[in-house]
Chains A and B, each alone.
Chain A
């Protein structure tokens, strides 16, 4: 499902290519990608290692410059922004969930979840209260005072989700959110994401290899050698 006529796309990718230089060799890892992601859509980006999906998602969320092409996120041409404005745009509009969680080991779960709010200058106590409220939605508020190393993998993942959602971003970007979880926990995380991260004016893009959750997607994009080879509501038969 791409954006309906007249409806603003959550993400609009136009003719995006990306080169990487290794020594004297230049390798093109993305080839003229055109893509629209509609608001309210749970989109999966699927592909083998080296297919370009990490590069594409990095470009879509404003942390990697394309060699060619343009990207708009909710109508803002993000690579036309100054460096500082782009950073501010990410802080206000995008939530990140990393495969390794990347929680800060020295601060407790609630403070970890509150990082985007603290980074925006919010008072620490107020940020913490809002983080705990978000953790309640994710059924993990009772772990608020624990350090990351005192939590299980699934609990850390929920803290990472709380951190991604606490500032109510319009776009949530997830990298292999279920890779370290068993099937039941994985589906629970996906249900949570669908419940919390998606709304009519929001979008969620997930990079995944996990075929256990393919049935939960609204849209699946398959990347091969830097090109989108499939765009549909389910995986192609040959995968």
Chain B
């Protein structure tokens, strides 16, 4: 009877494709939006994960994320270095600046000052050039997404910039995770960054700390906080802080949540309506089957097979559509590094199962209500 159920479903091509479209569109909307949402949220922690060697981040007690930091006096560095269990500690500055390109365009940039001696604070990989280029005069390294944005048609290497009235020359391109706002980031030495970003007396944003082998990051955090009065976070905690900040302070979760909810509602509406129409069109046939001697259990199984088939194919098409979307836009700097976390297809699968179960149940109700005797009326 399952074969008959499938033929009944596919025999009405218009409704079959309508059902597939509904499920596929719903899956695409939910999966694609959740994927973008998760990847955007993860960019809240890009500043932390770009500095892979730091086990602990130390900051002013009011600082919250890599982007929302209150500067500390430079003496904070010495305080941290004095804590037992600290293998090394280096200064790190993050600030905003305006840059004028050679063609005269103005661009807001993020300036990151890394330790002069060790260059800790730079992203791990380089697209072009080596970290050592920072030893050259006025040298800065630009992140790859920023390079594409500022110099879409030419190589940024050798380009001269006017950075807060100071001369800067791009000598390398870093392979960095873009920030939440995809703002252009310029990396330079800490001492040079102090010149590029004039400001208040205190300008040390963070102290990056490497732990000794015999201490855990959590334990070191406790020691630093108790001995210095500064705020310390492990790398994972601080990454999580960046994500939480976006969740708490932007309308992004709400906006994406609304889109995901719309995807669900559109799915229920299209699939529910089409499936109900399909069942209504076949109600006489179902009634006849019941009269002939097909049990309610078999009828339920037939409707479940129909719903399951539509759900399976539609969900597959929707996920494939999302994969194609991500692949298609992978060359776009805005979508750099985007991936589909395994939880996202799982969430959309649950949503589709709910849609299918709900619409299947509604459709089944009318079949179950149909008395076999109705076929004689």
Chain A interface residues toward B at CB < 8 A: 54, 57-58, 61, 63-64, 84, 87-92, 94, 96, 98-100, 102-107, 111, 115-116, 118-119, 124, 163, 175, 207
Residues in A neighbouring B11, C-beta threshold 8 A = 104-107
Note all chain A residues with C-beta closer than 8 A to B296.
87
Tell me whether B254 is interfacial, beta carbon within 8 Å: no
Residue-wise, chain B 292-307 has the 8 Å CB interface mask toward A (1 for contact) of 1111101000000000
Cα A106 to Cα B1 in complex, Å, equals 13
- Are A102's CB and B295's CB within 8 A? no
A104 x B292 contact (CB < 8 A): no
**B253 on the A face (CB < 8 A):** no
- A57-B376, A58-B376, A107-B4 known; A96+B289 contact, CB < 8 A: no
Contacts of B1 in A (CB 8 A): 118-119
Residues of A within 8 A of B295 (CB): 84, 87-88
* Nearest CB of chain B from residue A108's CB, rounded to whole Å: 9
Contacts A/B (CB < 8 Å), 8 sampled: A58-B373, A58-B376, A63-B291, A89-B293, A90-B291, A92-B293, A104-B8, A116-B293
**CA of A160 to CA of B304, assembled, Å:** 27
Q: Are A102 and B288 interface neighbours, CB within 8 A? A: yes
B: number of interface residues (CB 8 Å): 29
B342: interface (CB < 8 Å): no
A89 contact set on B, CB distance < 8 A: 293
Binding site for A on B (CB under 8 A): 1, 3-4, 7-12, 282, 284-285, 287-296, 298, 371-373, 375-377
Docked-complex contact B291 and A96, CB < 8 angstroms? yes
B373 in complex: contacting residue of A64, A88, A102, A119, CB < 8 Å:
A64
Q: How far apart are the CA atoms of A207 and B372 in the complex, in Å?
A: 17
* CB closest residue in chain A, given B285: A104
- Other-chain residue from B10, B12, B294, B375 in contact with A102 (beta carbon distance below 8 A): B375
Chain B nearest Cβ from A167, distance in angstroms: 9
Nearest 9 pairs of A and B residues by beta carbon:
A106-B11, A91-B293, A102-B288, A63-B372, A90-B293, A64-B373, A58-B373, A106-B7, A63-B373
Interchain CB contact under 8 A, B294 and A91: yes
* Minimum CB–CB distance for A106 against chain B, Å: 2
Q: How far is the CB of B277 from chain A (nearest CB, A)?
A: 15
**Which of chain A's residues has its CB closest to B375's CB?**
A98
Q: Which residues of B contact A175 (CB under 8 A)?
A: 376
The total of Cβ contacts below 8 Å across the A-B interface reads 89
Q: How far is the CA of A54 from the CA of B295 in the complex (A)?
A: 22
Min CB–CB distance A208 → chain B (angstroms): 13
Inter-subunit contact A98/B376 (CB<8 Å): yes
Does B4 contact A104, Cβ atoms closer than 8 Å? Answer: yes
Contact A116 B373 (CB under 8 A): no
Chain B nearest CB, measured from A109 CB (Å): 13
Q: Report how far A135 CA is from B184 CA in the complex, Å.
A: 77
Evaluate contact between B298 and A96: CB separation under 8 angstroms: no
* Cα A116 to Cα B289 with chains together (Å): 8
Closest chain B CB from A26 CB (angstroms): 18
Known: A84-B295, A88-B293. A96 touches B288 (CB 8 A): yes
A8–B6 CA distance with the chains assembled, in angstroms = 43
When distances are taken between beta carbons in the complex, the residues of chain A under 8 Å from B12 are: 105-106
Given A116-B292, A119-B294, are A106 and B8 also a contact pair (CB < 8 Å)?
Answer: yes
User: Which B residue sits closest to A59, measured CB to CB?
Assistant: B373
Q: Are B4 and A118 in contact (CB under 8 A)?
A: yes
How far is the CB of A112 from the nearest CB of chain B, in Å?
9
Question: Which residues of the other chain, A, contact B8 by a CB distance below 8 angstroms?
Answer: 104, 106-107
Given contacts A54-B373, A98-B375, A119-B289, list 17 more A-B pairs with CB under 8 A. A61-B291, A63-B290, A63-B372, A88-B295, A100-B284, A100-B375, A102-B288, A104-B8, A105-B12, A106-B7, A106-B8, A106-B11, A107-B4, A115-B289, A115-B292, A124-B3, A163-B292
Chain B residues, Cβ within 8 Å of A63: 290-291, 371-373, 376
Residues of B within 8 A of A96 (CB): 288, 291-292, 375
Which residues of A are found within 8 Å of B7, using beta-carbon distances? 104, 106-107, 111
Chain A residues near B3 (CB-CB < 8 A): 118, 124
CB neighbours of A58 from chain B (8 A):
373, 376
> In the complex, A105→B9 CA distance in Å?
10
Residues on B with beta carbons closer than 8 Å to the beta carbon of A100: 284, 375
Q: Looking across the interface, which residue of chain A has its beta carbon closest to that of B282?
A: A104
Distance in Å from the Cβ of A229 to the closest Cβ of chain B? 21
How long is the Cα–Cα vector from A91 to B354 in the complex, in angstroms?
A: 34
Cα of A119 to Cα of B301 in the assembled complex, Å: 12
Measured in the bound complex, the distance between the Cα atoms of B291 and A150 in whole Å is 25
Q: Which chain B positions have C-beta within 8 A of A54? A: 373, 376-377
Residue in A61, A87, A103 whose Cβ sees the most chain B Cβ within 10 Å: A87
Shortest distance from the beta carbon of A230 to any chain B beta carbon, whole Å: 22
Query: Contacts A54-B376, A111-B4, A119-B298 given: A64-B371 contact, CB under 8 Å?
Result: yes
Task: Find the B residue at minimum CB distance from A61.
Answer: B291
Interface centre among B285, B288, B293, B298 (most CB of A within 10 A): B293
Q: Give the chain A neighbours of B373 by CB distance below 8 A.
A: 54, 58, 63-64
Q: Which residue of B is nearest A55, CB measured?
A: B373
Contacts of B371 in A (CB 8 A): 63-64
Q: Which residues of A contact B293 (CB under 8 A)?
A: 87-92, 94, 116, 119
Please report the C-alpha to C-alpha distance between residue A94 and residue B375 in the assembled complex, in whole angstroms.
Answer: 15
